[in-house]
Amino acid sequence: MKLQELSFRQQYAEFIYHSYEVLPEKDQITLRFHFEIPGLCSFTPQTVIDTKNLRLVQAADHEYAKRLAFLFGMAECVSYFKAVLPEKLSVRCGGLTAEEIRWWKKLYFNGLGEFLYRNGIDATEEELIQIEAPEPEAFHEPLVFEAKTDALVPIGGGKDSAVTATLLKNNGKTVRYFTVNDQKARTDTVLAAGDGEEAIIRTHRTIDPALLELNRRGFLNGHTPFSAIVAFLSAYCAFLIGAKDIVLSNESSANESNIEGLTVNHQYSKSYEFERDFSDYLNRNIGVPIRYFSLLRPFNELQIAKMFASLPQFLPVFRSCNAGSKKNIWCAACPKCLFVYCILSPFLSKKDLDAVFGKCMLDETALLEDFKGLCGFSDVKPFECVGTVTEVRTALALTLAKAKRVNEPLPALLKYFDEHAPGEKPDLTLFTSWNEQNLVPDNYQSCVKEMYRYVSQS
């Protein structure tokens, strides 16, 4: 479907970002935004930052903090804008340079790539959105940034951030943790890393019910670049507490497209391209001296899985299943659960893995189509944060060889792999690979060298 054929877009041609509020209160800061689709509805989403355990070195409404809050609102807009995909986003509460407008157009287009694909919408970056905003005002005073901690680490509760936290602490970095809509696995990960709950900056983000009502009524819905929202919110918090770096846990595998032959990436806002763009934005367009980088970008999913398997303290508590996140469980029925089981299977015993998921995921024949996508037997990789086809096939080849050595009966999906990829050899170069496209600073090289020494061993 061509973009201009969308009835919603024809009927509702404008989205307005009216205003934002920064509301410091006792023990919390509220960031509130006011959006409107004229003729349809208004939205007032908000995010609350718990400040009970925080020593703020910058005021919540410092002019640089307010700029970051305004830009956080620009990232929030995309969730509401997508309901009708209007032609124009009118910004009434802050300025953007022409360079910044190009930056946001790129984020909206790439971040909505999966959304456009799933909704069958054909659009170019230039067609998708026009952004109108005044020129930004200059800051009144030069920034004095007082660094108080090394790293602010976003914690999702999965294996990756557990590895990052361990490497940082092993190498003497002072660490604070950052969560959005805290879940038990996230707190448990921090505790397993050896820190207390006071080390966590908790934020609570709410979706305006009006958007959920539009979804119920059949307006457009789908995946948005959530990690970009997290990026701006974490930058706001890092600025307030004086964190020198925002240290992510995104791997090189996040750069791969989900659709063969297309640049549709479920993980775009976790990609190196976004990481580089966002880092540049912070430093060049705002002038905030906070570095934004992924400590795990040099590594692939197989290397991270091997490192994680050496950290047994996290095994009982880690969770990265979206379907089961609110109940703090692995649903054991989705492609993410299947992927995590596969990628860890060479490094952990079947008994230990089955205990984590409550079953052998490689016996779940209901997930055969997802399994085919993960293995490259079909053209569409599941729209989840999963590894590359080569990584999955290498993990399965290693697990298959391990099962055959001890004459262990093959679970159904592993048997399917054996039949459809007979004689598959694992790509052992994955364990010694190193992704040069990374932003890891010199003073964090000891962390990545520690990991490389371990994962590259045969």
Q: What is the pLDDT of residues 94-151, one digit of tens each?
A: 999 999 999 999 999 999 988 998 899 999 999 999 999 999 998 988 888 888 899 9
Quick: pLDDT tens for 435-446: 999 999 999 999
Main-chain phi, psi angles of 35, to 5 degrees: -115, 160
Beta strands in 156-315 (DSSP E): 175-180, 200-206, 243-248, 291-294
**Which pTM was predicted?**
0.93
Task: DSSP for 166-206, please give it.
Answer: HHHHHTT--EEEEEES--HHHHHHHHHTT--GGGEEEEEEE
Quick: pLDDT tens for 331-365: 999 999 999 999 999 999 999 999 999 999 999 99
pLDDT surpassing 60 at residue 373 = yes
Of the candidate ranges 136-150, 170-184, 370-384, the one whose mean pLDDT is the lowest: 370-384
Q: Which residues contact 415 (CB under 8 A, 6 or more apart)?
A: none
Average pLDDT of span 199-225: 95
pLDDT surpassing 70 at residue 257 = no
Average pLDDT of span 205-216: 97
Quick: pLDDT tens for 48-70: 999 998 899 999 999 999 999 99
Main-chain phi, psi angles of 216, to 5 degrees: -65, -35
pLDDT surpassing 60 at residue 258 = no
E strand or H helix at 28: strand 28-37
Q: Which residue has the higher pLDDT, 169 or 406?
A: 169
pLDDT grade for 182, boundaries at 50, 70 and 90: confident
What's the pLDDT score for residue 253?
Answer: 67
What's the pLDDT score for residue 2?
Answer: 80
Mean pLDDT for all residues in the chain? 92
pLDDT surpassing 60 at residue 254 = no
Give the number of residues written for the chain: 458
The dihedral through the CA atoms of 329, 211, 123, 15 has a sign that is negative
What's the pLDDT score for residue 383?
Answer: 65
What's the pLDDT score for residue 261?
Answer: 44
pLDDT surpassing 80 at residue 458 = no
Q: Which residue has the higher pLDDT, 458 or 228?
A: 228
Q: Which residues contact 345 (CB under 8 A, 6 or more apart)?
A: 353, 362, 395, 396, 398, 399
pLDDT grade for 265, boundaries at 50, 70 and 90: low
